[in-house]
Amino acid sequence: MSGYRKLSRTAAQRKALLRNQVTQLLYNGKIVTTESKAKEVQKIAEGFIALAVKEKDNFETVTVKAKVARKDANGKRVKEVVNGKKATVFDEVDKEIQRDLPSRLNARRKMLAYFYPITEVPEEGKGRKRNTKKVDLPKKMFEEVAPKYVNRNGGYTRIVKIGQRKGDAAMEVLLELV
């Protein structure tokens, strides 16, 4: 007996399906799927949430010096002539950044290797590439999802049965974060 459901798919199709559903569950907070798929997705998602909860505070804050382009009132870069050429003027500022410790960095890399990239498209700027932005899902896991579950020992997701699907009478469920 295998330790997982095969879901009537080849290995590559099954892995892609589970990656997609786990990514969408953790991004949106809930998905509607069949019962057997939900049980497989639940196992994987709870593992990633547990990893995020464990590594939530495992970073150090570091102050670094960064060069930032000086901008005018309109938000455009200030340029000055140096040796007959226009060059952007840079200011040096101190910035505080969070640097992951090795175990949190490993957790972040595991998440990045598994999750599919997500691009948000705002409603008013549809159809324009410059309006889109990439979502950093591991950052969302550490900063939004993990703090909700700090005092909880597992059981981060819930399966609610909806009913049978009209086409093939498969049991549909709502898989959501608690």
Span 154-171, pLDDT tens digits? 999 999 999 999 999 999
Q: Which domain holds residue 46?
A: 11-56+136-177
Is residue 154 one of the residues assigned to a domain?
yes
Counting the structural domains of the chain, the total is: 1
Helix (H) or strand (E) holding 25: helix 11-28
* CATH value at residue 165: 3.90.1030.10
Is residue 122 one of the residues assigned to a domain?
no
Span 68-79, pLDDT tens digits? 999 988 888 999
Is residue 111 one of the residues assigned to a domain?
no
Span 105-153, pLDDT tens digits? 999 999 999 999 999 888 877 677 777 889 999 999 999 999 999 999 9
> Which alpha helices (H) appear in the chain, and where do they start and end?
11-28, 35-54, 102-114, 137-140, 146-148
Is residue 38 one of the residues assigned to a domain?
yes
Is residue 51 one of the residues assigned to a domain?
yes
Compute the distance between CA of residue 161 and CA of residue 156 in angstroms, rounded to an integer: 17
- Per-residue confidence (pLDDT) for residue 75, from 0 to 100: 85
Is residue 120 one of the residues assigned to a domain?
no
